[in-house]
């Protein structure tokens, strides 16, 4: 019982470095064999120290630090993490997680079992001049996904806090230590009504030298143009995803629309489960012809794709700026309520851009 109690009180587990795992067998007999696991488990048991404390190569010792808690009326609606708890092959980066509704329903997932590199809400790009800032394996045309030593890390300066907002300077660093992109990020939050709050997420990307932004889609994978702003949901049931022009994963995936809505029964673990509706407005991305990337059957999540079927060029000194205005509402909104909320977000989005 003491062991179970300690497990329940401890932080969420961190995935083992996949380079230290070999897979044996096929089908139901397939199993993972961890490098020298017997030796290290005996040593941990005999010494009373954890694998991280013993300095085991495949045991990631760092953990996330909470940089900014976002609160509305005493309710903690989001935590901004530095990403240090992410293993190198999952491309560490600052993210928002958990994100909650005003009633407490958790609407983000962090390092889910199916894709460890999916982390809450943030920015991630699979290929920046050959560096993987998305995480996981890299897509190679004709071969599929291959695990390479090509992962980058996004690190940030301490956030500059405002009332209900912050700005942060970030560096996208490749495996050789070179800065590929400099980012200025702005995040703000505010109540809209008793059931709904608004998240503003703005990212401005700048390159000291020209860089190419790519994705599996730009390398030939059909329907795989993900990369940019990305939101990973926890397990969902009864999903409804739609825009003003289409409904359902097939219709929305790859479409260009100024707003998107996702309504579902969220089954978070850990965290509070329940129904919620997410509406996101991104008219500047739509104006640039950038499609929505949506997954509902394989896993739940969506994003705005910067390099859907061809690479995007970020020239020296140029700035690529995108703003996403998101409403998180308790309950499953009707189509009429959702459309009205999307219209309100579009007005807020345009007003913010005019002020800037």
| Digit-coded pLDDT (tens) for 102-126 | 999 999 999 999 999 999 999 999 9
Ordered DSSP codes for 253-299: TT---SEEEEEEEEE-SSSB-EEEEEEEE-HHHHHTTPPEEEESSSS
Distance CA 231, CA 199 (A): 12
Please check whether residue 228 is in contact with residue 217, taking contact to mean a CB–CB distance below 8 angstroms: no
So what's the pLDDT on residue 129? 96
So what's the pLDDT on residue 354? 52
What percentage of the chain reaches a pLDDT higher than 70? Answer: 98
So what's the pLDDT on residue 2? 86
So what's the pLDDT on residue 4? 83
Given pLDDT bands bounded at 50, 70 and 90, which one contains residue 13?
confident
So what's the pLDDT on residue 97? 98
* Closest to 51 measured CA to CA, from 85, 59, 86: 59
Given pLDDT bands bounded at 50, 70 and 90, which one contains residue 9?
confident
Q: Where are the alpha helices (DSSP H) in 37-171?
A: 37-47
Phi, then psi, of 54 in degrees rounded to 5:
-80, -5
Please check whether residue 139 is in contact with residue 224, taking contact to mean a CB–CB distance below 8 angstroms: yes
């Amino acid at each position: 019982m003491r062991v179970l109690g300690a497990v329940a009180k401890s932080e969420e587990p961190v995935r083992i470095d996949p380079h230290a795992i070999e897979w044996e067998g096929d089908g139901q007999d397939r199993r993972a064999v961890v490098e020298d696991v017997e030796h290290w488990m005996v040593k941990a048991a005999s010494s009373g120290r954890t694998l991280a404390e013993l300095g085991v190569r495949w045991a990631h010792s760092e953990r996330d630090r909470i940089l900014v808690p976002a609160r509305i009326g005493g309710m903690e609606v989001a935590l901004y993490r530095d990403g240090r708890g992410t293993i190198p092959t999952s491309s560490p980066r600052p993210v928002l997680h958990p994100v909650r509704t005003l009633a407490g329903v958790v609407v983000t997932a962090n390092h889910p079992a199916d894709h460890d590199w999916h982390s809450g809400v943030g920015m991630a790009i699979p290929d920046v001049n050959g560096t993987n800032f998305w995480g996981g394996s890299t897509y190679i045309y004709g071969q599929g996904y291959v695990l390479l030593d090509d992962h980058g890390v996004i690190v940030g300066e301490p956030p500059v806090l405002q009332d209900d907002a912050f700005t942060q300077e970030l560096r996208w660093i490749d495996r050789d230590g070179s800065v590929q992109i400099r980012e200025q990020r702005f995040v703000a939050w505010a109540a809209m009504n008793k059931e709904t709050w608004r998240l503003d997420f703005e990212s401005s990307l700048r390159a000291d030298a020209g860089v190419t932004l790519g994705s599996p889609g730009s390398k030939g994978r059909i329907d795989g143009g993900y990369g940019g702003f990305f939101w990973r949901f926890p397990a969902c049931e009864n999903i409804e995803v739609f825009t003003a022009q289409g409904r359902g994963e097939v219709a929305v995936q790859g479409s260009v629309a100024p707003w998107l809505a996702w309504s579902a029964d969220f089954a978070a673990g850990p965290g509070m489960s329940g129904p919620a509706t997410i509406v996101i407005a991104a008219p500047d991305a739509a104006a640039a012809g950038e499609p929505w990337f949506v997954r509902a059957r394989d896993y739940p999540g969506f994003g705005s794709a910067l390099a859907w079927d061809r690479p995007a060029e970020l020239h020296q000194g140029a700035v690529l700026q995108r703003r996403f205005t998101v409403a998180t509402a308790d309950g499953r909104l009707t189509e009429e309520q959702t459309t009205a909320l999307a219209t309100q977000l579009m007005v807020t989005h345009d007003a913010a851009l005019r002020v800037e």
